[in-house]
Amino acid sequence: MEKSEKRSGSGNDSIPYLSPEIISEILCKLPIASVLRCRCVCKAWRYLTKSPAFIEQLLSSNVDKAPSLLLETSCVENESTQPFLLVDVEQRRVRHIRIDPLEGLSAMSTCRGLVCVGSLSSLDPVYVFNPITREYRRLPASGEKDIEDHQVGLGFDPSTGKYKVLRTYVDDDEGKRCFEVTTLGASSWRKLDVPDHWQDYFVYEPVFWNKAIHWKASTTARDFLLSFDVCHEKFRKISFPKVFVPDLTSIIEPTELELLGFGGRLTIIEHEDEQMRLWEVTGDKLEDLSIWFWDEHDTHVLWNPYMTYKVIGRWSPEFYLLEVSTCHGDVENRRKLFTWFLPRRANYLPLDIPGVPSMFITAETFSPCT
């Protein structure tokens, strides 16, 4: 006997029965804000949308969607200024995010809908928060210590279903670079053993991709990718192609190479005069990772210290989103804007988003999640 497709009821007023799997499929197609509203429908939907299985499905469905941008306002002009702005590029909407404990901190990394914030000059505090739900959690305190160049990367360990946070900083008292890791929910940080010569490393721009946190790293002799496997807590150095560094005695400036996690890829973008070259990091396991040339475009612009650009993402083979910075005179007159770059047409299309200030920092591309 076939099961009824409707719940028990009278006449035509009965409600069609939908399995949790079908409900999940439907909800994953909705905007994140609508998913949050659906949590108020009933307890069953609330539990469903908070379940790990639904979150995984939602993140998978968002891989091919354009992520939002998390911006930091560069200065607080008045009390109404928001420290973070969440920008929906496709809808051209700006959402203001104010969470009091996070004021004065900078966004350092993102992972699966969460953002890690901290300070470059202090170990405490460090928070992980969700810009959509505005839930946040403070990581273990470390006490006062004279440090500098504090960088924090956020990653996810699929083998345990837990988030891990890796940070590095220069200890002024010991005169060396340190690396520490903690698990979200743990009560302390654990110091990692690394070679002594790592104290000379400069690291920046952590990106989580393929179960590892990746940093651009530089020394006086060579530049490379420093990767940390969050599952096995092991490091690996991946050398850049030699064509990146014609003069191996010089350090690549942070603006010359970008490390970009976008659309399921880890991409290194090389800037040289008018040229933009893209290199893809490939490999399924950390020990097998390598860097291969992918694409090259002529930007048709002679970039200089007064007009620079940063690649935010590749929305399609035809469109790149750029953050362009211009400066007329002193630094106070620096202005920023977003523009589409169409390499095949050698064309630029300004992207005007109401509510985006004239000066900001694009902290991260961000894939919203519940």
Q: Examine the pLDDT at 76 and tell me if it is beyond 60.
A: no
Dihedral sign from CA coordinates of 366, 368, 369, 370 = positive
pLDDT score at 117:
94
29 found inside a domain: yes
> If pLDDT is split at 50, 70 and 90, which confidence band does 350 have?
very high
The length of the chain is 370
> Which domain, by its residues, includes 36?
19-62
- What's the pTM value of the predicted model, to 2 decimals? 0.83
∠ Cα 350 91 65 (to 5°): 100
35 found inside a domain: yes
46 found inside a domain: yes
Number of compact structural domains in the chain:
1
Mean pLDDT of 58-82: 65
Q: Examine the pLDDT at 109 and tell me if it is beyond 80.
A: yes
pLDDT score at 251:
44
pLDDT tens digit sequence for 8-63? 444 445 556 778 888 888 887 777 778 778 888 888 888 888 887 887 777 777 66
pLDDT score at 189:
96
pLDDT tens digit sequence for 182-235? 999 999 999 998 887 777 788 888 999 989 999 988 876 677 889 999 999 999
Percent of the chain at pLDDT above 70? 85
Q: Please count the other Cβ atoms lying within 10 Å of the Cβ belonging to residue 38.
A: 18
23 found inside a domain: yes
- Do the beta carbons of residue 281 and residue 262 sit within 8 Å? no
pLDDT score at 168:
93
- Do the beta carbons of residue 351 and residue 321 sit within 8 Å? yes
Q: Is the backbone peptide bond immediately before 125 cis, with ω within 30 degrees of 0? A: yes
CA gap 84, 74 in Å, rounded: 10
Q: Please count the other Cβ atoms lying within 10 Å of the Cβ belonging to residue 335.
A: 13
> If pLDDT is split at 50, 70 and 90, which confidence band does 114 have?
very high
Q: Examine the pLDDT at 164 and tell me if it is beyond 60.
A: yes
CA gap 225, 307 in Å, rounded: 27
4 found inside a domain: no
Average pLDDT, the chain: 82
pLDDT score at 155:
95
pLDDT score at 126:
96
- Encoding tokens for residue 249? 């005695």
**Among 106-120, 205-219, 276-290, the least confident range:** 276-290
Mean pLDDT of 343-363: 88
42 found inside a domain: yes
∠ Cα 302 304 306 (to 5°): 125
**Among 147-151, 179-183, 194-198, the least confident range:** 194-198
pLDDT score at 139:
97
pLDDT tens digit sequence for 285-307? 777 778 888 889 999 998 888 88
**Among 10-14, 135-139, 168-172, the least confident range:** 10-14
41 found inside a domain: yes
26 found inside a domain: yes
Helices (H), the chain: 20-27, 32-38, 43-50, 52-61
pLDDT score at 227:
92
CA gap 11, 149 in Å, rounded: 69
Nearest to 147 by CA among 103, 99, 189, 84: 189
128-131: long-range contacts, CB 8 A cutoff, minimum separation 24: 128/154, 128/163, 128/165, 128/184, 129/99, 129/102, 130/369, 130/370, 131/70, 131/84, 131/86, 131/95, 131/97, 131/366, 131/368
